[in-house]
Amino acid sequence: MWELSPFMTYIVIINIIGFLLYLVNTLLYRFTAEGQIDAVLTIVSILGGSLGIVLSILIFDRKAGKGDMMSRVFVSCILVIQIILFLVIRGHYVDHITLAFWTFFNQHKILVAYLVIINFITFAAFAIDKIAAIERKSRIRIVTLLALAFFGGSIGGPIAMYLLRHKTRKDYFTVGIPLIMIMQVVLLLYAMNAKW
């Protein structure tokens, strides 16, 4: 018979709770004006239930809106960090921890090229969106701009934001992108020290 350790049992239970709470929250948003449980979802996410919440989002609530964008950025970043913590707890890291960023980037030049390109694309996307806003034309979707930042363009995004004075009053950008940067630093540190 297959048994779960107490830690794994906790992870399974907290993610089931996260999944169900997000479903309840979605129903509350659809059928009531008040009574959402965003604060509870935030706590459950921090306690390890972010995978369940993300799965519930993907199944029941794929269409993102401005109102829930910050919570989606938060739970996505927390999920990546929790996966890394889970791998570290399970022992998937090298014996000798290193912080030699330059050595790592020197050994992974394709990653450097990718980061340069994605940051250029992200900067350009923010700039195009700024021009479209001025000219009152069709805009680039918020989720697209955040996705570009999430997948590596978290330096190009803020540079464009503050250089062009664009999206600097939206919390899902002013708080979300720094949170994405923190997640990416954690991911980079893990990639540098993971057992491959």
Stated pTM of the model:
0.86
Element spanning 152, H or E: none
**CA torsion angle 120 124 126 132 (round to 10):** 180
pLDDT at 105: 93
Q: 136: which 2 tokens?
A: 């009152």
Query: Using one digit for the tens of pLDDT, what is the confidence trace for 117-137?
Result: 999 999 999 999 999 989 989
- Mean pLDDT, the chain, integer: 90
Residue 173 corresponds to which tokens in the numbers above?
């950008």
Residue type, 59: I
Question: Within the chain, what is the greatest distance between any pair of CA atoms?
Answer: 65
Q: Is residue 11 pLDDT above 80, yes or no? A: yes
- DSSP classification of residue 93: S
Q: What are the tens digits of pLDDT across the range 13-52?
A: 999 999 999 999 888 877 776 657 788 999 999 999 999 9
Q: Residue 90 pLDDT > 90, yes or no?
A: no
Is the pLDDT assigned to residue 1 strictly greater than 60?
A: no
- pLDDT digit string, tens, across residues 51-87: 999 999 999 887 877 777 888 899 999 999 999 999 9
HSE-CB for 86 with a 13 A CA cutoff: 16
Angle at 131 between CA 127 and CA 133, to 5 degrees: 115
CB distance 48 to 83 below 8 Å = no
